[in-house]
Amino acid sequence: QKEVEQDPGPLSVPEGAIVSLNCTYSNSAFQYFMWYRQYSRKGPELLMYTYSSGNKEDGRFTAQVDKSSKYISLFIRDSQPSDSATYLCAMSVINTGTASKLTFGTGTRLQVTL
Amino acid sequence: SQTIHQWPATLVQPVGSPLSLECTVEGTSNPNLYWYRQAAGRGLQLLFYSVGIGQISSEVPQNLSASRPQDRQFILSSKKLLLSDSGFYLCAWSVRYEQYFGPGTRLTVT
């Protein structure tokens, strides 16, 4: 079993739809959670990060963490064609004094159609 | 603000040739630095990370090596490339837990 599971998609939605992207994880030591967006042939771009359960909102994006269920989500409201990309979840244990090592999902490919 | 540079952007090399990819970070001091490889349709594989000058940790035994000659410079090298070294190489930096990625180098070994 992988430590982080993410549906690869592709997920196709019409413009303006609400998108829900999800990851599940098995390691209860994960405490820090991130979402990245990666356009084709580009490096991943950090969208959001959080270390607490509950919701964190930034514009059209909301990150949700449920540590009891080991489940994280990214919601995109009013989706736009420019949101078409691969979305990667990532997570880390909290430690001090060493580099953070992230465990990534394999990514979900999202396509927003006109 | 912080920026991260990688070069070259694209590289085509024959099997058996050497490799040197460079990554530099601006606007921050003493960052943690990382090299990843992303194969087509697959996830990110951590290759090396560094917490300081001359300090390199290897995650996966392979045909590659890394060096950090300066605080904000990270180099990925190989003496002899294999076909299996083809992929998208990404450098990243962090100060806390979240990592920030560079634009990547697409390497094709022929």
Neighbours of A28 (CB within 10 A): 10
Q: Which residue is closest to A6 within chain B, CA to CA?
A: B43
Instruction: Give the confidence band of A9 by pLDDT, cuts at 50, 70, 90.
Output: confident
Q: Identify which of B32, B100, B106 has the shortest CB distance to residue A99.
A: B32
Q: Check: CB of residue A61 under 8 Å from CB of residue A73.
A: no
Instruction: Report d(CA B53, CA B2) in Å as an integer.
Output: 19
Q: Where residue A107 sits, what CATH number does that domain have?
A: 2.60.40.10
pLDDT digits (tens, 9 = 90+) for B12-34: 999 999 999 999 999 999 999 99
Mean pLDDT of chain A: 93
Q: What is the interface size between A and B, counted as CB pairs within 8 Å? A: 57
Instruction: Report d(CA A94, CA A46) in Å as an integer.
Output: 18
Domain encompassing residue A50: 4-113
DSSP assignment letter at A114: -
Q: Identify which of A42, A94, A102 has the shortest CB distance to residue B103.
A: A42
Instruction: Report d(CA B28, CA B92) in Å as an integer.
Output: 13
Q: Which CATH number fits domain B3-109: 3.40.190.10, 3.40.50.2300, 1.10.760.10, 2.60.40.10?
A: 2.60.40.10
**B49 and chain A: CB distance < 8 Å anywhere?**
yes
Put simply, the answer to whether B49 touches A92 (Cβ < 8 Å) is: no
Of A59, A58, A77, A68, the residue nearest A20 (C-alpha) = A77
How far the first Cα of chain A sits from its last, in Å, is 37
Put simply, the answer to whether B100 touches A104 (Cβ < 8 Å) is: no
Instruction: Give the confidence band of A7 by pLDDT, cuts at 50, 70, 90.
Output: confident
DSSP sequence for B34-46? EEEEE-TTS-EEE
**B44 and chain A: CB distance < 8 Å anywhere?**
yes
CA A103 to chain centre: 12
Return the pLDDT at A99: 78
pLDDT digits (tens, 9 = 90+) for A53-91: 899 999 999 999 999 999 999 999 999 999 999 999 999
Q: Enumerate the β-bridge partners of residue B10.
A: B106
Return the pLDDT at A96: 66
Put simply, the answer to whether B51 touches A99 (Cβ < 8 Å) is: yes
Q: Is the pLDDT of residue A92 over 80?
A: yes
Q: Check: CB of residue B52 under 8 Å from CB of residue B68.
A: yes
Q: Identify which of B49, B50, B103 has the shortest CB distance to residue A43.
A: B103
Interface probe for B, chosen from A42, A89, A91, A109 (most Cβ of B below 10 Å), is A42
Q: Identify which of B43, B90, B99 has the shortest CB distance to residue A107.
A: B43
Q: Report how far apart, in Å, the C-alpha atoms of A56 and of each of A44, A60, A74, B54 are.
A: 20, 11, 10, 38
pLDDT digits (tens, 9 = 90+) for A96-111: 667 788 999 999 999 9
Instruction: Report d(CA B63, CA A74) in Å as an integer.
Output: 37
Put simply, the answer to whether B50 touches A106 (Cβ < 8 Å) is: no
pLDDT digits (tens, 9 = 90+) for B39-94: 876 789 999 999 999 999 998 867 899 999 999 999 999 999 999 999 999 999 99
Put simply, the answer to whether A46 touches B57 (Cβ < 8 Å) is: no
- Annotated domain spans of chain B: 3-109
Number of domains in chain A: 1
Put simply, the answer to whether B106 touches A92 (Cβ < 8 Å) is: no
